[in-house]
């Protein structure tokens, strides 16, 4: 396993991080024993960064991760979130952020998290996130309940704007840098670089589209993106390799993202993803993958309040996404 500094936090995180949303049955049902085996395999394989949220499985993922990390808490970095509690249930108020962290700490069976992030900030008002949510996170940091604080979301412009004052340590972006999309670097403004923001890239498989299983019904990608992903998966199979390994391997090569969070629910998936760090990608295959991805490259979907969108939309929407 390789490790990189997460911005200026000083945390040396594994280049592959454990995304714990699948532990909340977000993609498909998993047993508690499978979750524990997955976490054990991840720690044994050198993964030291775990990301979860109250939203994943309506607190189930936090409960299960807390159980699975009993006796291991000191050897990992643990990140959770606040502000999002359901598909359309958001509360970024100071009071809710302050109570939320205590609830998470109870479920995670720990006295502190290494990173506390405001979850999917494009569903909140930019003013409230700046004036209320981030100051609440800072208060939690000064109490020692979170060592570092960050923001997460899908809309790059809002993430960049809210990170600009230098009041957060990390930014987590998802589904914006993988085989199907590559616009995450919009976050890397000269200010972000000067601030040495820790950048976390999530969803290397485009929330499961580049895995063999059928995507869940809630997946928000347009149909043509889903079809392109199916073709990429089938193409890789015909070459005797897995699309998920190629996708993950490409992501960990990003020059600035400290870690790539991949969602895992079984020890087999953990092993497969650890092996992805060793594979050599056939350039002929990679060219063919790119040919399939190019027609749908950078297709994005609606997420959050219309005023927080990256690009003007023909029809403003407050449609929610599952993650
Ligand atoms: P992902 O792209 O990592 O895909 C996860 C899916 O792929 C799951 O169904 C998983 O079981 C499957 N999978 C993983 N490895 C596999 C393998 N080797 N073989 C077959 N299937 C495999 O999507 P994700 O889980 O949404 O993203 C990763 C993590 O990033 C999340 O769990 C979460 O921690 C974080 N995240 C955060 C946000 C946010 O804060 N807004 C949004 C998205 C993701």
Mapped onto helix, strand or coil, the DSSP state of residue 268 is helix
CB 117 within 8 A of CB 87: no
What's the pLDDT score for residue 190? 87
Within 6 Å (CB) of ligand 1, which residues are found? 19-22, 27, 51, 119-120, 152-153, 172, 174, 202-208, 211-212, 244, 261-265, 269, 272-273, 323
> What does the DSSP 8-state code read for residue 308?
G
DSSP letters, 183-232, are -GGGG--HHHHHHT-EEEEE-TTTTTTTSSSPPPTT--S-HHHHHHHHHH
Please give the Cα distance from 285 to 29 (Å, whole number). 33
What's the pLDDT score for residue 93? 98
Q: Using 50, 70 and 90 to split pLDDT, how confident is the model at 312?
A: low
Percent residues over pLDDT 70 in the chain: 96
For residue 322, pLDDT beyond 50 = no
Please give the Cα distance from 237 to 122 (Å, whole number). 37
Q: Per residue in 120-149, pLDDT tens?
A: 999 999 999 999 999 999 999 999 999 999
State the average pLDDT over residues 198-214: 96
Q: Using 50, 70 and 90 to split pLDDT, how confident is the model at 323?
A: very low
Ligand 1 centroid vs 120 CA: distance in angstroms?
Answer: 16
For residue 102, pLDDT beyond 60 = yes
For residue 317, pLDDT beyond 80 = no
């Amino acid at each position: 396993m390789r490790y990189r500094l997460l911005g200026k936090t000083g945390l040396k995180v594994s280049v592959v991080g454990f995304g714990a949303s699948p532990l909340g049955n977000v993609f498909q049902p998993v047993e508690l024993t499978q979750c524990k085996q997955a976490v054990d395999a991840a720690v044994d394989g050198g993964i030291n960064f775990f990301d979860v949220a109250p939203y994943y499985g309506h607190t189930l993922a936090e409960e299960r991760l807390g159980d699975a990390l009993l006796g291991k808490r000191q050897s990992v970095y643990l990140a959770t979130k606040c502000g999002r509690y359901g598909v359309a249930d958001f509360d970024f108020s100071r009071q809710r952020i302050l109570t939320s962290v205590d609830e998470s700490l109870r479920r995670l069976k720990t006295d502190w998290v290494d990173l506390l992030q405001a979850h999917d900030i494009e569903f909140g008002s930019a003013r409230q996130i700046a004036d209320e949510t981030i100051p609440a996170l800072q208060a939690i940091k000064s109490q020692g309940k979170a060592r570092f604080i960050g923001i997460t979301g899908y809309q790059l412009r809002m993430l960049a704007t809210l990170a600009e004052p230098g009041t957060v340590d990390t930014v987590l972006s998802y589904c914006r840098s993988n085989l199907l999309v590559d616009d995450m670097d919009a976050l890397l403004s000269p200010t972000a670089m000067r601030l040495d923001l820790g950048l976390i890239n999530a969803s290397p498989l485009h929330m499961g589209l580049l895995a063999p299983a059928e995507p869940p019904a809630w997946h928000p990608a347009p149909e043509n993106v889903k079809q392109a992903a199916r073709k990429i998966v089938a193409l890789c199979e015909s070459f005797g390799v897995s699309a998920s390994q190629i996708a993950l391997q490409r992501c960990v090569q990003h020059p600035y993202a400290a870690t790539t969070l991949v969602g895992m629910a079984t020890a087999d998936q953990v092993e497969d993803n650890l092996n992805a760090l060793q594979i050599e990608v056939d350039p002929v295959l990679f060219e063919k993958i790119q040919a399939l991805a190019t027609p749908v490259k950078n297709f994005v979907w609606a997420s959050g309040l219309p005023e927080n969108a990256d690009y003007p939309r023909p029809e403003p929407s407050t449609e929610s996404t599952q993650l």
